Structure 1
Amino acid sequence: MNPVLSGLAANPALPPELVDRLIEIAGPCLAHDLAGRPDLGHAQAVALFARDPDTGVPLAHGGRLTAADVDARERPDTALALLDQGGGSPEWARLFAADPVARHREKLAGCPGLPADVVEKLAADPDPDVVAELALWTTPETAARLAEHPHVRVRRAVAVNEATPPDVLAALVTGRGLPPVSRCPVCDREAIPFTHDPHCPRPDCELPPGASCDGSHESAVHDLVVAALGNPATPTDAVTEFADHPSYLVRLALAARPDLPPQVCARLARDPLPGVRADLAENPAIGEEVMRVLAEDRDPQVRRALALHPRVPLDVLTRLAHTARIGATLVPRVASATSAEIRELVTSPDPAARMLAAQRLDLPSDLRDALARDPDAKVVKSVAPHPGLPEGLLRAMVDRHGARVLARVAANPDASPALLEYLTRQAAPRQKVFRAIARHPSASAEALLACLEDREARSWAAAHQALPPRVIVDLLSDPDPRVSEAAAANPSLPAAVMKGIVDDAEAAPLER
């Protein structure tokens, strides 16, 4: 694919008549790019679909086509995409419910608003993948009925569906009150007993590593239990018995549930696997006692997860800021902090506490400016992107802390063209600075020309509307296809040049 044509196809300033001409000559690559244009009209979409029927699915998903534009027998993929969007015809649904291609029936099963007779037919489909897809999205009544399906794959899909009645989910997770399963993905394919080699050499094998069946469908039933534990509609009293389950995947699913009683939280806080403790650390169900235990955890994954908890005590959060690698993140506890708590953080002698507060973009101006004058470069770096900072303060940050804050100052939405030009002249490693400036809406032509020196920033600069048109035209022939594509997509590309590109494309069919 010619990257210039690809960029031009996405250019928002491309005149409609040139879009029409590109549609007339589009090959598969160009047609795909044109299908993504947000301003594509209905007539243009129909013309593009006629030119390349493979664009039907994205056009249908984008709302560009109607049922009248599609022959369901000729283009089943496009018709199914329309059904998936709630369009299409009920007769299409009946047509696909009887389709010999299982993939079509499976796609239909996931579509909303299916007629009752189609749902009944799909629920009785001989292919368990089709029934499982229906079970994922269906109504409580149909889900309850499919919970008795003989195939584990269907029951697992019922266990995922949040519309499934709680009593049915409880039966699925405990195995009580339902007829035993008789089929699973393992015994569908292999003579049992069978355990799948984790290093299976067969390229066409679809079984997951370690899948096994000795007649009890153990690995598939295990997956069903994990799915049911992850469903918030599964009753709490049906899941608490799994806190000591030997499978870490089961305990992992349990640890994320927001309805855990305190005794289960306390048990999982001592789990031998860090992943389980980390999921528990983010769980809104845990209380302060468990939080303080997890704050001392040796694993950084656990401590970082706790730092993201919306109710972690501020003193705990401040300690975690030293060891949990929070970075430039506005954590939920700081986002919801009161004015008094924010002022306490800003005036703390601990730079880590001040960094936490610096992530708030709604700080009162006095606190924001105080952080901008902070002696600690990490604090200043955190507050540098805040809107409303006076240019004098931004320049002072650069003069005081140099390369450590340049990129963050360049990301400030209120940075003026003059300030951005000033940043390009700083004597320091500037790759991140150039990239931030190249994406900044206020960047001037002078600043963008400097950004072209950086290999990564070059494509961003080529797409910037403030770049001089003559430079944009020169970049169309850049050896880096990312740069030439970005230049062709630049709305400041002269209309005469756009027309010339289309003229050349009409004469070069192999590049489309």
Structure 2
Amino acid sequence: MHHVLCGLADNTALPAEFVDRLIAVADEDVAAHLARRPDLSHAQAVALAARSEENAVQLAHLGRLTAADVDPATQPDAALALLDEGAGDPEWARLLVADPNVERREKLAACPGLPPDVVDTLGADPDVRVVAELALWAAPDRAAGLARHPHAEVRRALAANEATPPAVLAMLITGEGLPPAQRCLVCDREKTPFVHDRNCPRLDCDLLPGASCDGSHESTLHDLRQAALRNPATPTAAVVGFADHPSALLRWALAARTDLPSQVYARLAADPTPGVRADLAENPAVDDTLIRALAGDRDSEVRRALAHHPHVPLDVLADLTRTTRTGPTLLPRIATASPTEVEELARSPHPALRMLVAQRRDLPPGIRDALAADPDAKVVKSVAAHPGLSDAQLRAMVDRHGVRVAARVAANPDASPALLEDLARHDPPVRKALRAVARHPDATSSALRDCLPDEQARPLAAGHPALPPHLIEELLTDTDWQVVEAAAANPSLPRAVTTGLLSLP
């Protein structure tokens, strides 16, 4: 019954009085489904929130409650959720900042628009987790003070905050102008020097694997620098020196930045770590010269990343497709290709290029039709879901290429009900095609019946409104809970069945 009620809570055809009945009996799981109903009234949201604070928190985050609906004294977590969404009463913060529960104070520190006196109190909190959370979200005018905090964890959090002023980020990353940090999470708990075992057997230990401190808080400082390098607000002058740093993780963080001098990008292109070169290959700031150099990289992941560069020249992309599998995805450079380039790509002698352009869903009819008749199955598979293809064209694709294109044909929005029935009965069965048929809005009851034996298509078919009501009712007792929930959520579930499930008069 639990999964039936969860499904009913998602049923878009459920009348308001049935929703009220569900609210009256909802446990936490059912309530979570109810909270997401687009037709949930404000009165229903308030009634649902009254059943538990967990419900109230979810509803607050979803924007279904107002400040007038929540009492911060008895519902502090819901009040925090509203404050986090910018919909709470700022006065609540003065009550919550004194909460003995450190996790609540930590959540409060992440909320926007807090009164200045509350921010001051949080900045002096005895638990470093609260101050670090405040630093992560602090406004620029608070950054300089937090940068001088004696705990390295607070400084690390501030380095990740994109609102931290560039001058403060530069101080954090170099240490210049700041007193040395006095503590870190490692030396708070362990006698130094200490290196945390990467296979630590202690169940109550939450130190990161490899965390270390010899008195200089080195692992936290490393994490601080990594956060600052990834922070786009950190000044270029403060980061360029890390291109030759012995830490691959710091060089890796640098590779995605778009504000570096060309000579720094050139050094990173020769980095021994493939991940550094791969991130660099996707970086839109890399120029044509470096793109062409990276195209010859020995690592396939680097070449694959380069294929996703938004400005990769088409001749380079053509060469990449000969040595690198990019998969059937719409690459950024293909998505922005001009009409002339699209026509050239569609006529390319290389099937991989034709496959890539076939992923576009805005192709002119002539190019679309030519690709639909392509002799290469990869090309046809890519274009098969394109809207505007006729039933005859879709059938011809399946006749020529069979199981290799059946699933994508079934996903075509213009696939006819008769074609979907034929695909559902394809011999041999194509499991991906069955799932596509079960999702298709034009699938017939006959096609859906043929999808039911497949364990992955069955939940999809169970929720399809074209499934006959008697089959929907039968699936309410299925052994697969996903099928049960989908059937209960089916808008074609007979009202009489719903009434019985909810024991309504």
- After TM superposition, the score normalised by the length of structure 1 is 0.96
Contact 2:23 2:48 in 1 (8 A): yes
| More divergent stretch after superposition (26-35 vs 221-230) | 26-35
Deviations 1:301-327 (A, max 9, x none): 111111100011111112222333211
AA paired with 1:291? I
Please give the residue correspondences for 1:402-441 in structure 2 after superposition, counting only pairs within 5 Å.
Answer: 402-441=402-441
1:334 is the counterpart of 2:331: no
Task: Tell me how far apart the structure 1 counterparts of residues 27 and 212 of structure 2 sit (CA, whole Å).
Answer: 47
Which deviates further from its counterpart, 446-455 or 247-256?
446-455
Instruction: Name the Cα RMSD after superposition.
Output: 1.4
Q: What is aligned with 2:462?
A: 462
Alpha-carbon distance in structure 2 between the residues aligned to 1:28 and 1:163: 37
Distance 1:90 1:354 in 2: 57
Q: Is the 8 A contact 1:9 1:30 kept in 2?
A: yes
1:14, CA displacement in angstroms?
A: 0.8
Specify the code of the residue in structure 2 equivalent to 1:258. T
More off after superposition, 491-500 vs 317-326: 317-326
Give the drift of 1:31.
2.5
**Distance in structure 1 (CA, Å) of the matches to 2:279 and 2:270:** 13
Structure 1: runs of 5 or more not aligned: 507-512
1:217 has 2:214 as partner: no
Q: CA deviation at 1:191?
A: 1.1
The total of aligned residue pairs comes to: 505
Is 1:262 the equivalent of 2:228?
no
Matched residues in 1 for 2:456 and 2:200: separation? 41
For 2:286 and 2:48, how far apart are their aligned partners in 1? 55
Gaps of 5+ in 2: none
The amino acid that maps onto 1:98 is A
Query: Residue in 2 aligned with 1:116?
Result: 116
Write the distance in 2 (CA, Å) between the matches of 1:499 and 1:286. 63
Q: State the structure with bigger RCO (CA 8 A, min sep 6), 1 or 2.
A: 1
For the residues of structure 1 that align with 2:70 and 2:226, how far apart are their CA atoms? 41
Q: 2:478 — aligned with what?
A: 478
Distance 1:472 1:429 in 2: 23
Asked if the contact 1:36/1:58 (under 8 Å) is kept, the reply is no
Question: Structure 1: how far apart are the matches of 2:339 and 2:71?
Answer: 61
TM-fit CA distance, 1:354: 0.7
Q: Whole-Å Cα distance in 2 between the matches of residues 465 and 323 of structure 1?
A: 46
Match of 1:289 in 2: 289
Q: 2: distance between equivalents of 1:371 and 1:436? A: 22
* 2:203 paired residue number: 203
> Matches of 2:196 and 2:478 in 1, distance apart?
51
**Change in 2 beyond 3 A, CA 1:2/1:463:** same
The 2-side partners of 1:209 and 1:198 are apart by 4
The CA distance in 2 between the partners of 1:425 and 1:9, in whole Å, is 33
Aligned to 1:136: 136
The alpha carbon displacement at 1:462 in A equals 0.5
For the 8 Å contact 1:169–1:228, the answer to whether it is kept is yes
Amino acid at match of 1:121: T
Structure 1 residue 324 corresponds to structure 2 residue 329: no
Task: Report the Cα distance in structure 2 between the residues aligned to 1:370 and 1:449, rounded to whole angstroms.
Answer: 35
Whether the 8 Å CA contact 1:31–1:52 is kept in 2: the answer is: no
Q: Is the 8 A contact 2:106 2:129 kept in 1?
A: yes
- The 5-angstrom pairing of residues 136-215 of structure 1 reads 136-215=136-215
Report the AA paired with residue 309 of structure 1: H
- 1:43-79 deviation digits (Å, cap 9, x = unpaired): 1122122223321110111122222222212221111
Structure 2 residue aligned with 1:370: 370
SS at match of 1:94: helix
Aligned to 2:67: 67
Q: Is the 8 A contact 2:53 2:77 kept in 1?
A: no
Aligned-partner SS, 1:73: coil
Instruction: For residue 230 of structure 1, report the CA deviation from its aligned partner.
Output: 0.3
* Greater Cα offset, 475-484 or 215-224: 475-484
Contact 1:195 1:213 in 2 (8 A): yes
- Between the aligned partners of 1:198 and 1:353, the Cα distance in structure 2 is 45
> Quick check: 1:308–1:333 contact (8 Å CA) kept in 2?
yes
Q: Which position in structure 2 is the counterpart of 1:315?
A: 315
- Structure-2 residue corresponding to 1:510: none
Query: By how many angstroms is 1:300 displaced?
Result: 1.6
